[in-house]
Amino acid sequence: MIERTGSRRRLRSWLSGSAVVVAALLTGLAGSAFANAPNPASATQATTTTNSNGTVLVKISGTWDWGNVTTQPDEKTSPQQDCTQRYGVGWAVDWQDPTVAPWNNADTLKQFTITKNGASFAAGANYDGFQVGICQQKDADGFPTGPWSAEHTYANASSVPKTLCVNFYDPHGKEGEPAGGVGWPEVNNISPDKRNSNFIAAGPRHDGDNSIETNSYNPAEGGNCATPHPAEVHAAAPAPQPAPAPAPAPTRVLGTSVARSPVAQPVRAARLTFTG
């Protein structure tokens, strides 16, 4: 009887240990499945508008896909079949603008640069664009897909980089249920150090489920990057000034006649004669 009790205890202990192992395996598998991200699915288009003050508005756009689409030889995929199991999709652009953060400071830029497998990509903390819900459109294989766009204004044409690339992010959550409880765009009103990390594109605590870090997408290859070509604005030449009118010829004064008073003539005194 004692032996049986001991056997039962050993069996319960073994089952308990096995349950822990199985749970750990399931957790690991769940974590692997959880780490996925969409990829750029088309060439990125760029348009530029040069304003009269010399600033340049750059707009870029394209398509993202959360299925099996790749555009680079070493790029991976991590499909998201069930569109209801994600809140949306975010994207960020490496604008490389030396007049704004994080590109205007070397130390800040280092903190906000994502590097992996030779790729280097910098972005601000906020996404440059976001699509709430991913069930609106599907590709030929039934995976979520959709359009994206972003824009940025540069101080002048010489500040516009030769190449602009985009990175896509998995913000997790579920359809209608953003991770952390605050969705797009209201989440941008929360400082990056306090908001949910699923809504941070770069920097400390950024969302690591993205095209570069999860799918080995490399913007350096340039296959899905835009090449904007802004027009230079040259200062307008000043309008020609009319030739000055010739100065009038000086008036030659020959003389002025002055009326003279008649010369007084001497008056001879009359001689008076008295008689008487």
Cβ within 8 Å of residue 156, ≥6 positions away: 54, 55, 56, 233
Percent of the chain with pLDDT over 90: 62
The SS3 of residue 252 is coil
Is the model more confident about 237 or about 210? Answer: 210
DSSP secondary structure, 260-275, as one string:
PPPPPPPPPPPP----
Which structure tokens are listed for 63? 């398509």
CA distance linking residue 26 with residue 20, whole number of Å:
10
* pLDDT over threshold 60, residue 68: yes
Average pLDDT on 198-211 reads 97
**Confidence label for 20 from pLDDT (cuts 50, 70 and 90):** very low
At residue 22, φ and ψ (nearest 5 deg) are -60, -40
The mean per-residue pLDDT over the stretch 48-75 comes to 93
Q: Looking at the whole model, is its pTM more than 0.85?
A: no
**Which residues is 223 bridged to in the sheet?**
none
| pLDDT given at position 248 | 65
Give counts: helices (H), strands (E), the chain: 3, 9
pLDDT by residue (tens digit) across 91-120? 999 999 999 999 999 999 999 999 987 889
pLDDT band at 28 (very low <50, low <70, confident <90, very high): very low
Residue 57 · residue 153 · CB < 8 Å: yes
Report, as an integer, the average pLDDT of 7-21.
50
Checking if the pLDDT of 10 tops 90, the result is: no
**C-alpha span between 111 and 128 (Å, rounded):** 18
Q: What pLDDT is recorded for position 50? A: 96
